[in-house]
A and B are shown apart, each in its own frame.
Chain A
Amino acid sequence: MPTLLSIRNMTKRFGGLVAVNNLSLDVEELSIVSLIGPNGAGKTTVFNCITGFYSPEEGSILFQGHPIQGRSPDRVTAQGIARTYQNIRLFANMTAIENILVGQHPLLKTGWLEAILHPPRYHSEEKQALEEALRLLDFVELSKQGDNLASSLAYAAQRKLEIARALASKPKIILLDEPTAGMSPKETADATRFIKRLRDELGITVLLIEHDMHVVMGISENITVLDYGSKIAEGQAKQIQTNPLVIEAYLGRGAASGQDQVKTTRAATSRTKAKPKG
C-alpha cells in the first residue's frame, strides 16, 4: 500500500516549549494507525499541525506526495483530510442534518448569486447534498435524530454525529481525536466496530488518538508512541506492549522491570499525570 500521509522531521514549538520534536510518521493508505502517549505528549498538536491550525517550525507534511504544511485549515480539508475533536465540537445550535450539510461545504459549489437566483443546478445540488446527509446519518445510525439539535443528542450520538460531519467532506483520511473518551464499555465496543467500518466499508484511512488500550490494540495496524513530543516507539501492538520505553513513559521508571505486559488503562494514564516521570 502506498503512503497516504507522511510527516517528515516535524518540529512544533510554543515559545520555549517543544511540543512536537522531530517527528516522522507514515500512514499507509487503508490502514488504521494509532497515536498514543501520556497526557501532554503532543498528540493533539500533531493533529493541529496536519489540519493546518498550527504551522510547524521545521519539517514537512506530505499528503499524497504534496506538501501541505502551513496551508489554511479550509484548504487542507478540501484536499481530503477531515478530523474530529477531543472535546466534541459540534455546531450545537444547528440540527444534526445541518451539521452534516456544513460538513459538505467544500464539495458544494453554490455561490451567493446562485443562492439568490436559484438556477436549476442549485436545486439538484441541494437535493443531492440532503440525500447524502441522510445517507451519512443512516450510516452512523442516527437516522431518526436528523432534525434534533446537535446539543440535544446523547453523548455517544454526538460523537457519531461528529464523525458523520467529518465524513461529509468525503475525506481520504480521517483524524479521530479520542473517539471513545467518556464512553461506557459497551459504547466503546460499538465505537471500535464503527471505526473499523469506516475503513472496511468506506475505504477511509484512519489516524487515531486514543487512550483506551483495548481499542488501540484491537484495531490498529500500526502504533506510534509519543512522549514529551518525541516518538519513543513505533510498531505493531505486540511490539509496543513489551517495549520498555513505552512502559516507562506510562508507568514511570522502574516499572518496566517487574512487568512483562502493559495493562495501560485510563487509570494508568492519570497516575503518570499525578506522579511525573523520574
Chain B
Amino acid sequence: MRTFVSGLRPALIVFAIVLYLNLIGFPLKFGSVAIWVFAAVLFLFSFVVSRRAKGSSPILAITRSLIIGLLPSLGLALLTYVFALMQASQVTVQAVFAQILPPHTAALTGLTGEQVIAGESVLPGLASLVLILTSASVLGGVVSLLPYEKLKTIHSEKTQSLLSTLPLLVPMALFTAYLSLKLPSVQLFGSQENIFGLLLLYIFFGASLFALRAIPQGNAKTSFMIVAMLATLSVPLLNDQFQNSVLGFVVIFIIMGIGLNIVVGFAGLLDLGYVAFFAVGAYSYALLSSPDSWILQNVPGFEGVTFWAGLPIAIVLGLIAGILLGIPVLRLRGDYLAIVTLGFGEIIRLILLNLREYTGGPGGVIGVPPPFIFDVSLGKPRDILFLSLALSAIVTFIAVRLRDSRIGRSWVAMREDEHVAQAMGINLVSTKLLAFAFGAVFASLSGTLYAVRQVNIFPDNFALDVSINVLALIIIGGIGSIEGVVIGAIALIGLPEVLRSVNEYRIVTFAALLVAMMAIRPEGLLPSLRRKRELHAGEQENIPRRKKIAR
C-alpha cells in the first residue's frame, strides 16, 4: 500500500507533464518522435524519483517505477482513444484543444490521419504506446538501482581520472550530435532540423558550463576550455540563418544580463528600468546612422557615423544616462530604488515615443546600417553573431575581473550591509555610481547590437518587459553568477524562440518553469558559489550557533 502511495504522487506529476506536452501538440509537430520524448521524460522521472528515495528495496523501487509508468501511459492512451473515437465520428474538439487533430492521434498510434478518420482501431497502437512508456519508466527504476555509490569508493587513480573526465564527455557528445545533424545525408527531424540543432547547442552550452564548474583546475580543464571555445566559434559558420539569428539575440541578452548582474547581483541595487540604457544605446546609434533619422536629414553635410564610431558614442551616452539616473537614486534602497528606476525606464520609452519629430515617434527609426569592414557589410545574422560573441567575451572578461577585485568586494559588502560597508571606508557614492555606470555601458553596448540586428527599431521594443526579462534571466541563472547569466539567457530568451512552433503555450510553459524553478532551486541554475553557500548553508553543515543577543 505504501509503495502504491509513494508512487502515486510522482505518477500524477509526470502524468500532468505528459498530458501537457500532448495537449500543446507535441505529437502533431514532431510525429512519432513524440512517443520517444514521452518515454524519455518517464525514464528520467522514474530514475530521479527512485534515486531520491534511497534505501528502498529493489522490489519496492521497481513497483514504484511501474506505477509511475503505468498511470500516465494508461491515462494518455485512454485520452487518445476518446479523441480517436470522436475524430472517427467527426466530432471536433479543436475549439478547446487546438492541436488535437487526426494526425496527432495518428502519430501516437502508428496510423495515418486518414485511417483515424476512417475509424480504424487504434487499440493495437495504444497497447504498444503503453508498453513503450511503461517499460521506459521501469527501465529508469532498474537503472537507478545500479551501484553508483561503489563508483565513488574506487580509489584507483586511473579510474578516478577517467571518471573526472566524464562531465567533459557529455558536452562533447552533444556537440557531435549537433554536428551530425548538419551532415547532408541526415534527415532525422524533417523541417524541424534546425530547431533540434539549436536545442542540442543550448544543452551543449549549458553542459559545458556545468562541466567547467564540476572539474578541478588542471590540464583537462584547460584543454576542455579551448575545445569548447573553438566549438563555440565554429557554431556561427555551421548554423543556418535562423539559428544564427536566434543565437545572436541570446548573446545580446547575455551582454545585457552581465551588466544588470553587476547592478543587481553584485551591488544589490534593484534596477527595474534597465531597458532605458538599452534604448539609449540602440537609439544613439540608430539616430546617428540611419538615413531615415532627423539628424541625417537636417544637418547638412552629415552622412552619418559608421558602427565603429557609433559604438563608442552610444557607450558614452549610455554612461551619461547611467550616471544621470545614479545621482538622484543614491540615497534610495530596495523598494524605493525599484520604483524610481521603473519610472526612469518608462520615461525614456515615452520620450522616444513622443518626440516624434526627432525620434520618429511610434514609427521608429528605419534602416539602421550594419557595420562595415572595408566595404564588406557585416549585416548577416552570422556576422552579427560573431560581433556579439566578441563583444560579450570582452564584457565577460571585464565583469569577472571587477568581481574578483577590490571593487567587486566593495560591491558585495555594500549589498550585504550598506552601513557597515561605509564604516569600512567604502565611499558609497562612487561605489554605487560605478555599478550603475558599468551596468549602463553594457546595456548601451547591447542596445547598439540590437539596433543593427533589428535594422528597424521602435519604442515598443524597449518596454518594461525587457527589463523584467533581463532580471528574470539573471535570477533563473543564479543572481550574482556570470555563468548563470549565459544559462539564464539561453533558458529565457533562446528556448522561447525554439518553442515558437508550440507558440500558443510557450508563455504558460515559462510561467510553470519559473515557479517550479524558484521552488526547487531558488539559488538559480548555476549560482555564484557565494550565493549557493548562503542558501544551502543550513543543509550541509550544522554548526551550533548561538543566537545573537541584541540588547
Contact = CB atoms under 8 A, between A and B. Distances in A.
B123 interface: no
18 contacts: A73-B419, A74-B423, A74-B425, A91-B412, A101-B406, A102-B421, A105-B424, A112-B402, A112-B434, A112-B438, A122-B405, A149-B534, A152-B541, A152-B543, A154-B544, A169-B425, A182-B549, A211-B551
Given A93-B530, A154-B544, A85 B420 contact: yes
Interface of B: 397-398, 401-402, 405-410, 412-413, 416-417, 419-428, 434, 438, 530-531, 533-534, 537, 541, 543-546, 548-551
B551 A181 contact: yes
A239 to B, nearest CB: 27
A155 B548 contact: yes
A77 B423 CA distance: 6
A88 B416 contact: no
Contacts of A1: none
A116 B402 contact: yes
Main secondary structure of the interface of B (DSSP, over half): helix
A105 B420 CA distance: 12
Contacts of A129: 406
B424 A178 contact: no
A172 interface: no
Contact of A116 (B401, B417, B544): B401
A233 to B, nearest CB: 22
Contacts of B548: 87-88, 155, 182
- In this complex, the interface size class of chain A, counting residues with CB under 8 Å from chain B, is 35 or more
Contacts of B419: 53, 73, 89
A110 to B, nearest CB: 5
A94 B416 contact: yes
A76 to B, nearest CB: 8
Nearest to B422: A73
A249 B212 CA distance: 64
A93 B533 contact: yes
Contacts of A98: 409, 412
A39 B550 CA distance: 12
A91 B414 CA distance: 9
B413 A94 contact: yes
B363 to A, nearest CB: 39
A128 interface: no
- Most A CB atoms within 10 A — which of B401, B423, B534? B423
B424 A165 contact: yes
A91 B548 CA distance: 15
Given A105-B425, A154-B543, 7 more contacts: A73-B423, A74-B422, A77-B425, A94-B409, A106-B424, A110-B405, A112-B402
B307 to A, nearest CB: 23
B417 A89 contact: yes
B424 A103 contact: yes
